Structures are given as structure tokens and as C-alpha cells.
Structure 1
């Protein structure tokens, strides 16, 4: 169906149902992998930069004479910036598109990372870390939204989470880099490496297509049709076969205006509450552990710098394994089971560690690594789950607001540890708090989360 005026170029009118049906019929092809790579390269360094500060703090703390509270602020100030980025990026992506919003955010955090190399002292470091955090917080939710919108319902979980694996992979590389670079080359080189996505993002994203779902919603029907035509042609060329006819998708029928009811009204109220709980409980635990573990091993258990970084590396590797397990099973067991199991099991393991008294570094390593593997599976899975809960008109905004709870949790997590150390000289209470929060989040997920496995976005989110 199309509308024209005399002498005007034919402009197709594409409905939301048209876009959904054409995306749903696309089989797996190489262009999807390229798109995932183009977004994933930035998410990789997002994770790298987010953890870099944990591995330079054992050096900067004695260099600048920082106490536990100042170390916590140095870690958390980046998350404050991420909170600002998460709260604003959704609105920017809804207005200007997913690709421009994601690309600009990458450039912000990349150049801020480079600026950290020249830190003369604590105040400058805090200021630039905040700016870097704005870019970090803005990039991740927009990227998650984009990947969800170009992917069909069938096996969407595995496809999206294989992309999201670049985040824990970035954490692991940061741990490896920190283990070797900080003692041998100096802490500055961690931030030099963190600046790499500036060039990589510009290169990989120069031909990245905009989300057809967003283009249709923005009224840019001709562009949406051209993008879909290009994706369909690429799929035919790469798979060597014709595409099946589109299967009709049920939608609301008439375009609806975005409103707060899309987050807090009707069917969405329960979804919003549950997903906020998941974001907060998963990331209070994961960031509370990973951001502080190198310093805990040094200040509480007296390990050398090399051993402290090595122990933290093992925990980070365990998190990657847990995330990979989630990626390969989430389409089999479903979102609710995967998320609830990750939080409940990880939380229970941390409670065991607290009950044992966290008496020595090997004991902390064993139980925290096991717990981190489980909780990190939930932390990864919520990136897949959240975009599936909201309609296109507010999807990026909804993901941004939800991921803001990640930033709140990330700000609070390090202070939970510093309060425990300052008050008692030990970290048992911190493990107790993290375990209880994770278990509570798992119970809410098990009881109230809705299942989204194999659901077409437009049908499930009218």
C-alpha cells in the first residue's frame, strides 16, 4: 500500500505489522553477525573500561593516599555518570535513532578513557571518570535495544546473549590485562587500551543500518522499506535461497502514542517492577564483588598485588562461564527460570560464604567465584529480557530506565563493602548483604516474572 501526490516519488506505507512480519521470516545470516559485531565491539570495551578502575585502584590508593571511602567514591563516581547516561540515552535513541545514539555514546567514553591517562590527582580522576560513565551508561541499553529489534522471535535468546557475551568477555580481558599490564607497564596503559573503541566504533558502524522498527515508528516508511529490502537481499545472497512468505503478525492495529502507561500501566506495571528488581539485585551483587575484590584481597587478606589480581581474574573467568551457560540454555529453559535460578543459586552461595566467616582468601575465592558465575548469568540475561517487555515506541526508553537501576546498584555496591570494612574490619557482612539481595531478587523473579521465550515483540507488547 502506498500514497502519492501528482509528480511525487512513490513512498511505501509500511505498518508495524509489516516490519515485524518481514523481520520474523529472516533466517540466520552473516549480516546479523556483522551487526552484532559492530555493536559488540563497543560493548566489549564498555565492560573493559568499567572494570579497569578496579585493577588500578590497588596502585592509585597508596599513590594518592586514599582511604576506603575515597576508593569507594573513585569506583562509584563512574556509575553515577552511567546513571545519568542510562536515564538520558533512551529518550535520545527514541528521538534520533538507535545507531546515532549508540555511536556518540561510544565516542564519549572512549575519549574520556584516554583523558584518564593524564590524571594528575584524585579530583581530576573523579571528574573524568564521571564523564566516561555517562558514555558507558548511554551505550549499553541502546545497543541491547537495537540487537533485540533486528532479531526475530525464534532463538532470539541465544542470538542476543551470544552478543551480550562480549560484556563478560570484556571483563575477563580487563582482568587479564590488569593482571599483567598494571605491575609491568603501569596503570595508565589500562586506560590507553580503553580508548580503542573510538576508532573501532567508527569503522565497524559506518554501514550499520538503522532499526527498521524504529524507522517505521518515526514515520520514515521509505527508509524502513529500503533497510528491510537490503536486509532481505543480503539474506538471500548469504543463504542462497528465497525467503518464505511473511506470516501475518497481530498488532494493536493503529499507532499508539508513547506514554507512562507503557511502563507503569496495565500489563506493563508488573513487568516494570520485576525487571527493575532483577537489574538492582543482580548488579548490586556483581559490581559490588568485582569492583572491590582486588582491593579486598590486598587490604583484608594481605595478598601481593599479583596474587590479588590473579584471584580476581579467576572470579571474572567464572562469570564468563556462567554467562555462556545462560546464553546456550535460555531458549530451552525460558527467561524466568534462567534469571531466577541465577539469582537464587548465586545468592545462596554467598550466604554460605558469610556463614563460614570468609576466613581466608582461598575460601573467598572459591565461594565468590561460584556465586559470581550464577549471578552473572542473571546479570547477562536481563539485557535480553528487558527489551522483550516493552513496545517499540518506548523500548529504548524502558531499557534505559530499567538499566538505571544497574547504575544505582553499582553506586551502592562498593559502599556496602567499604562500610563493612570500616565498621568491622572484615567483609562477612558484605557477603551477607549481597547474598540476601540476590535471593530476594530471585524469589521476585520466580513468582512474578512473565515468560517471553519465542514471543514476537509486537504481539507480546501491543
Structure 2
């Protein structure tokens, strides 16, 4: 029985796919535990909304540092080795959060956890982009990002179980302790997943850490546009990821059971969105698909936050919210990987994705401060739509490298063409 593009993958491509999907899923599980526990921490540890926003933002700042740092290390030591390290890193510091009892204890742990999450997301995306044939790259690479929804679903399903058997003041600690489980994935990666051929073909002289390479005249414009695009997309996404559970509990007055149901619908959307993005982007290009999704998401957020609507309609909008959010995030690392040669691919994709996360991380904290002076829903909607507008302008300027042959752009002539921003290299659908 054929399973779409999955049936067209070689055994090596499938192993790489599942390693990247698994890494992203389990790291997502760890990172979303905090968002789900925020309402509990506000009560149990007497945190303010501003404290909660800061803890959300500091993790995203850490992911900016980790993504770029891991990208440079991956260009030097290989995608597989660095990916194993980041998975272990996230699991360790999620587990350590179980022993925190104050804002100042959580602050460094959240930052360090973010370093690992940002690193794994970038290195996994670069690995999958190099391992998959160009004609299928958009669909396969984007679908890996749907692992975020799967990880969120795992943490969401585990939450009521943990809180059923344990009292609240103990359950949140046990919930964080579960975050150690992703460390088991490292065995699978080490035993069954090979290094990418593109990296193996680099000469030893090319395998080096060079911070300045992505800022040379040849690559500077691509780096700037890509970073602004990521900032806009992640800024809007992080507002929803960080504050939606709290908005449902405090503004809509939903109990934990109902909140879980509404978030489950949002997660289903996040699962479907990357598959839809990948299919469309392979057809019409990465930049046009970004613009389509950004406009659609802005409309959905406007209705969700500003209109007085029936809870049934809100449920349907939650599905769309998750779909567009998941689709937008899924396309970034792939689009950036196609714009850089192999010797600086993880460096470039890591910087743009990670500093986009860093700049975008300002938004959850901004919403936290603004909500002290206005309704939480209005603050969320206003800042999110502003972020989407920034992303849309950047997407208009993004070079189109959809389906480019990654090995071809390693030649000087092809790189010069890529830097010109007027090329479109396609290898079929």
C-alpha cells in the first residue's frame, strides 16, 4: 500500500526522517510542559503574569543562542553528533525544572533548556533537508515539524493523568520530571541514522566554525531578510503558545478538563498544518506560501481574540489557529537551508531561525506587561497581528530557492546565482 511521499523515500531517508521527527516530538513535549503548567505555577509559586511571561521569553532567548551555536557546531562536527547532544541537553534541564521552587530558580533552568531545544530544531531541520531528495523536500521537511503537535499532545494527555493521581503541589514537579524520557532517543540516532552525504563530502578545510561567513556581501541580504521573517512568525506563534492556556483558564473561565479539550483541537491543527504547508510550498514556492499563511493567521487571530463568538465556533477557529501556526513554523528552517551552501548551511539556518526566536521571544513578555493595563485577549491579538505584518513584509523580499539542488549551490557559480535573488531552481514535484 502506498503512503504518498513516504513510499518514495529510501530506507536511509526514512530512518533519518524518524530520527528528526522523534527528536522534535520529544523536545516539543518537554518545552510545552511549561506552558501547560503556567496557570498552576501562578498559583502554587505565587508568580505574577509578568514573571510567567519572562520565564517564557528567557527560554526562547536561550533557543536563539542554542540554535546558532548548535548550527556552527554542526558545520564543524556533523549534524548527527550535535543532534544527539541537544536531545540529551533538553531532557536534562526539563528534569531539573522539577526541583525549582521560585522564579529565580526557574530562570536559568528555562534559559538552558531553551538552548537545547533551539539547537535540536535547527540541526534536525538541516539534516532532513540534506537527506531528502529535492522533489519531496518541502513536504518531508515540513512534516517533521508536525512533531511539535505530537509532542504537545503527549504532554497534554499526560497532564490530567498526573494531576489525577498526585496533589497539585507535587504533580507539577512530577510532570517536569517526565521530561527526562527523550534521552532514550539518542540510542536510536547513534545506532541507525547516518551522517548526511552533503556534510561528508565537505573537505576538512571547509569544516570549520566561521561566525562571519553568513554576513559577507554574498549572504548578508539573505541573512537579514530571513531573520526578520522568522522574528515575525515566531513572535506571533509564541504569544499563542505561551498565553493561550492561561487565556482559556483566566479570561474564558474554562476548567482544566475543558481547556485540555480546546487545546487538543489546536494541536490537531498544528499536526495538519505542516503537511499542508509542505504540499503548497512545493507547488507555488516558499515565500508565497508564507504570505498566504500569514494573512490567513492574522484573520483567524482577529476573530479569536476580538470578536464575541460562540464557544463552538471558537473550537473550529482553534483548529485553524494551530494549522496556520504549525505550517508557518515548519517552513522556516527548510527555506533557510535552501539559501546557503553546505559549509555554512547550519550556521545560516541556525542564526536566522534562532535570532528570529530571540526577537520573537520579546512578544510573550510584552503581552505579559501589557495585560496589566488592558484585557489579556486584546494584548495577545494586537501584538500577534503586528508580528504577522512584519513577517509578511519580509516574505515579500525572500529569495525563492524552492526545490534547489543543495549540492549544486556548493559551486561558486551557483552560489553567485543564488545571491542574486532572481533565481528559481526547481527539480520537479
With the length of structure 2 as denominator, give the TM-score of the two structures: 0.85
Aligned residue for 1:442? 392
1:162 maps to which of 116, 137, 143 = 143
User: Cα offset for 1:377?
Assistant: 0.9
State the SS of the aligned residue for 2:407: helix
Aligned residue for 1:106? 87
Aligned residue for 1:295? 246
Rate the CA distance shift 1:432–1:265 in 2: closer, same or farther, 3 A.
Answer: same
User: Cα offset for 1:297?
Assistant: 1.5
Aligned residue for 1:348? 299
Does the CA contact (< 8 Å) of 2:146 and 2:272 recur in 1? no
Alignment partners' CA distance in 1, 2:19 and 2:107: 30
Matches within 5 A, 1:150-299: 150-182=131-163, 184-185=165-166, 186-219=171-204, 262-266=213-217, 268-299=219-250
Matches within 5 A, 1:344-383: 344-356=295-307, 366-367=316-317, 369-383=319-333
* Residue 391 (structure 1) aligned with residue 341 (structure 2): yes
Does the CA contact (< 8 Å) of 1:274 and 1:448 recur in 2? yes
Aligned residue for 1:427? 377
Alignment partners' CA distance in 2, 1:184 and 1:311: 23
Does the CA contact (< 8 Å) of 1:168 and 1:323 recur in 2? no
Aligned residue for 1:329? 280
Q: Give a deviation string over 1:235-257, Cα, whole Å, max 9, x none.
A: xxxxxxxxxxxxxxxxxxxx899
Alignment partners' CA distance in 1, 2:73 and 2:210: 16
Aligned residue for 1:224? none
Alignment partners' CA distance in 1, 2:111 and 2:242: 16
Alignment partners' CA distance in 1, 2:50 and 2:33: 19
Does the CA contact (< 8 Å) of 1:156 and 1:454 recur in 2? yes
Alignment partners' CA distance in 1, 2:75 and 2:240: 34
User: Cα offset for 1:339?
Assistant: 1.6
Rate the CA distance shift 1:179–1:268 in 2: closer, same or farther, 3 A.
Answer: farther
Does the CA contact (< 8 Å) of 2:61 and 2:111 recur in 1? yes
Aligned residue for 1:62? 43
Alignment partners' CA distance in 2, 1:171 and 1:323: 15
User: Cα offset for 1:158?
Assistant: 1.6
Rate the CA distance shift 1:192–1:371 in 2: closer, same or farther, 3 A.
Answer: same
Compute the RMSD of aligned alpha carbons: 2.6
* Residue 133 (structure 1) aligned with residue 84 (structure 2): no
Aligned residue for 2:31? 50
Does the CA contact (< 8 Å) of 1:178 and 1:190 recur in 2? yes
Alignment partners' CA distance in 2, 1:170 and 1:412: 24
State the SS of the aligned residue for 2:99: coil
Aligned residue for 1:459? 408
Does the CA contact (< 8 Å) of 2:76 and 2:208 recur in 1? no
Alignment partners' CA distance in 1, 2:54 and 2:220: 34
1:93 maps to which of 70, 74, 80 = 74
Rate the CA distance shift 1:218–1:187 in 2: closer, same or farther, 3 A.
Answer: farther
Rate the CA distance shift 1:354–1:295 in 2: closer, same or farther, 3 A.
Answer: closer
* Residue 143 (structure 1) aligned with residue 124 (structure 2): yes
Q: Give a deviation string over 1:392-422, Cα, whole Å, max 9, x none.
A: 1111111110112342145212123212321
Alignment partners' CA distance in 1, 2:320 and 2:128: 29
Rate the CA distance shift 1:257–1:55 in 2: closer, same or farther, 3 A.
Answer: closer
Q: What are the ranges of 5 or more consecutive residues in structure 1 without an aligned counterpart? A: 1-26, 221-254
Alignment partners' CA distance in 1, 2:99 and 2:9: 45
State the SS of the aligned residue for 2:372: helix
Alignment partners' CA distance in 2, 1:64 and 1:193: 20
Pick the structure with greater CA Rg: 1
Alignment partners' CA distance in 1, 2:298 and 2:155: 25
Alignment partners' CA distance in 2, 1:414 and 1:128: 18
Rate the CA distance shift 1:364–1:268 in 2: closer, same or farther, 3 A.
Answer: farther
User: Cα offset for 1:428?
Assistant: 1.1
Aligned residue for 1:12? none
User: Cα offset for 1:451?
Assistant: 2.0
Alignment partners' CA distance in 2, 1:330 and 1:179: 37
Alignment partners' CA distance in 1, 2:353 and 2:370: 26
